[in-house]
Structure 1
Amino acid sequence: MSSAGLRVLYLTASSAGDLRVGEEIRRVRAGVRGALHRDVVEIEHLPAATLGDLLDGLTRVAPHVVSFSGHADEGFLEFETGADRRGSGHRLAAKVFAQAMGAVDVPPRLVVLNACKSQAHLQELVKAVPLAVGMAGSIGDPAALAFAARFYASLTDGQSVLAAYRLAKVQMAGSTDSMMDADLPVLVHDPALDPAAVRLVSPDPS
């Protein structure tokens, strides 16, 4: 990826209002603003994201990275419904989410699921995209925030996907609030791909 830019579609959803997804995107943006190649990274944040927002974002943003932060379980991601009041969200099956990634002409290169028990979604996802990150168990807010902020700052510094993933885990392990969750992030990839060789942000060689 050159200075033509990295487009990130960042979806957050918390229909019950119980997750700190607003603070997460604030920290991610702050980390990217302070990073080396900040001028070539564009984050399109869709708060209170619905299924329609996901599909619109895939076609209109044409993202290289899709990030989801919200509730999840082994079988679903919980999007919002668009209702006026807090309540139950829309449970989107993991298989359907993966189908959405592969439905566009140019699928994303990386999907990040900063959500509980989302490791179960990864094998389905890598049928559609080359790289995916999820969580092996239930992750607390402090750990989710720490992972996301360091991961995207490291990508924007020009680190490989593997290095950014490892640095984010170190950030979690080194914090009192998140060290217990430091083993939860899981990176999977197409077997033909080396994540240590994939840099989504790099300086313009010219």
Structure 2
Amino acid sequence: MLTPRHHALLATLAGMIAGTAVFGTVLAINGNFSGDDKKSSQVASSQPPQTPSNGDGLQADSLQFTSQPFGADDAPATAEVPTGWKSATGGTRPKYVDPTGVWQIRFDTRGSSQSPDQLVDNRARSIEEQDLKVISRDNGTLIYTYTDKTRGPRMGLSSFRPSEDGKRTLVEITVGGRPQDEAGLRAVLQHATDTLQLTGAAGDNRPN
């Protein structure tokens, strides 16, 4: 026969069992803590990587190059440009742009009867860009910076390559990017200049 003390112990035990059942139900609904932590970490790791900061410039030692043909039918030309830069225009004034649209290189093989130094002076006077600053104009190459309304600070390097007598210009090579890309842009320009091959006489068809 159960005494009142026995009834009290049974009631306490029943309460503990019921509480355990309720706690288990809450866990089943809300999920366990370790599962929630794992889910949160997966969401965080799936976020896209941060874009490069404005201080990250074009690295010269990361570039590889591919030969590209261009020019007129009677005066074909080739030069090596960074691999992966796609042709935006062809013919005598081809332009190659990297996939992000930040960097580019352009050629003009129409030639000119003016000397490289004359064309450097003409180009410096003709650029109509905000905050234009000419950095140098030596050896037939104009280096300058300006501010683009859409893309912000920009840098351009325009090199005019002379004929053997130095009195005419055979081709113009221009590279563009941001001021922090200067080292990489110089490498692209130098490599294009070193690998440039022209066939036939320049037509002197540039409207200068």
TM over 0.5: no
Higher strand proportion (structure 1 or 2): 2
TM norm structure 2: 0.28
Name the structure with the higher helix share. Answer: 1
TM-score by length of 1: 0.28
Structure number with bigger Rg: 2
